[in-house]
Homo-oligomer: A and B are copies of this chain.
Amino acid sequence: MAHDEQTGVMDVFIARCRANGLKITPQRMAIYRSILGSVDHPSADAVYRKIRTEHPTISFDTVNRTLLKFAEIGVIRTVESHSGVRRFDPDTAPHHHMHCLQCGEIIDFCDRDLDAVPVPEAVLNQFDVFAKRVVISGLCLKCAREGGVKRES
């Protein structure tokens, strides 16, 4: 990511916070910068452990509360998960998920055709649609090689 692009992203972030009445603190800047660089879908704990290397005094609670706040104002998202642990997604652009039933990994992928699938009119009538995504469940290559899940087809 080029330096001016990074600056631009942070400017948008700051404007977004201000627009929602959130104060700009060093912790929030660090947390946002950290999660922006994540390609996976980290849990609050994963973000905490990563950020701790640069900001040893930050607390887990601040990280967790901040991530929830960010999700609330829409600068990040929470992703659907089967594991019982909440995970966050810094990518708010439309994209889709492959979800491994064995290891729980969630892998992003993009596809213009899937982006374009129409929302049925019946849904539009009874729901205020913000976003849509295709979620594919199955096994990642690694887990498939290791023998798959215990399941009858």
Contacts and interface: CB of A to CB of B under 8 A. Distances in A.
A138 B131 contact: yes
A136 B131 contact: yes
**Is the contact region of chain A dominated by helix, strand, or loop, or is it mixed?**
mixed
Contacts of A131: 136-138
B79 A79 contact: no
A150 B82 contact: no
Contact of A80 (B82, B117, B120, B153): B82
A88 to B, nearest CB: 10
Contacts of A134: 117, 132-135
Contact of A135 (B86, B122, B132, B138): B132
A54 interface: no
Contact of A73 (B119, B128, B137, B152): B152
A53 to B, nearest CB: 26
19 contacts: A19-B152, A20-B152, A74-B151, A80-B80, A84-B86, A98-B123, A98-B127, A111-B123, A114-B117, A123-B136, A127-B136, A129-B137, A131-B136, A131-B137, A132-B134, A132-B137, A133-B135, A133-B137, A135-B135
